Structure 1
């Protein structure tokens, strides 16, 4: 890692992982981190699709599209960057669990931002979804599993995946409507 990035990264990591440490946050943060797991998103999207209306079904489709894109892109980037997790290389980092794989970008942050921003595009309430995604990212830092720059990179990648899913959704709609219009003209 470039030395100029290491200082701020370590300072923010120390703040969230050590300074803020408390029994309440030790309980809360593992719960929040669940919002970045594949299981959470599969269940949420399934519920939205089965129990929701047209907007919720569309939001579920977009979120799943963004999540699939984000998963493959983040896994590829992790293999290229190959950054070890903070608790593997810094002795003072507290961690309650051990995570497999590399650290950069945070896959949980990718999933949270890809999913929650996709939901925002179809369901509104931007601050609600941005706060939820941000809390997932903060939980990863608090738990000592990622550097802040890992979470930031994951957030950017997740937002890009959500925008890509939005464009895919628009193309799918246009393709369906354009085909329907052509069939009616014949």
Structure 2
């Protein structure tokens, strides 16, 4: 990594992880980070699919597709990049929890952006969903589990997965409609 980028990474990490630390944020940030877990997204997608209408079912399909892609891509990248987590190599990093695996990209951030951007496609309110996903990423920095560049990479990967999943959903939907139209013509 370029020295200037590493310096910016460390400065931002210090700001969120040490300078902003407070008992209130120590309680809030673990709650926010839950929005980036696969468990959260599987439960939310099941609820949307089982209890929702057509838009909710489509949103659940897009989100689950994006999450699966994001999981496999982020885990593959982690193995290739093999970047240790900040708390493992920097003495001043506070952390309230220990995470396994490597740091780059942030899997929680991938999941948050993949999921929340998928919801935006069907429900609108882009700023609400971007803010929610960004809060998950910020929580990962605050908790000392990721560098800011890990979170940025996770956000980009999550958005790309969401857009790819939207295209997949459009193709699946079109295929289903095209087949239905052909069946009615006979």
Q: Do both proteins adopt the same fold according to a TM-score greater than 0.5, normalized to the shorter chain?
A: yes
Q: What TM-score, normalized by structure 1, do the two folds share?
A: 0.98
CA offsets, 1:104-124, max 9 Å, x none? 000000000000000000111
Find out whether 1:28 has 2:28 as its counterpart.
yes
Correspondence for 1:77: 77
Find out whether 1:119 has 2:109 as its counterpart.
no
Find out whether 1:142 has 2:142 as its counterpart.
yes
Residues in 1 aligned to 2:96 and 2:82: alpha-carbon distance in whole angstroms = 22
**Tell me, what secondary structure is at the counterpart of 1:60?**
helix
Correspondence for 2:44: 44
CA offsets, 1:162-183, max 9 Å, x none? 0000000000011111111222
Q: What TM-score, normalized by structure 2, do the two folds share?
A: 0.98
Correspondence for 1:159: 159
Work out the number of aligned pairs and report it: 186
Find out whether 1:131 has 2:123 as its counterpart.
no
CA offsets, 1:61-111, max 9 Å, x none? 110000000000000000000000000000000001110000000000000
1:1-16 matched pairs, under 5 angstroms: 1-16=1-16
Give structure 1 regions of 4+ aligned residues with deviation exceeding 3 angstroms. Answer: none
Residues in 1 aligned to 2:104 and 2:164: alpha-carbon distance in whole angstroms = 21
Aligned-residue CA RMSD in angstroms?
0.7
Flag structure 2 segments of 5+ consecutive residues without an equivalent: none
Correspondence for 2:94: 94
CA offsets, 1:42-64, max 9 Å, x none? 11111111111111111011100
Residues in 2 aligned to 1:125 and 1:59: alpha-carbon distance in whole angstroms = 14
**Tell me, what secondary structure is at the counterpart of 2:21?**
coil
Flag structure 1 segments of 5+ consecutive residues without an equivalent: none
Correspondence for 1:18: 18
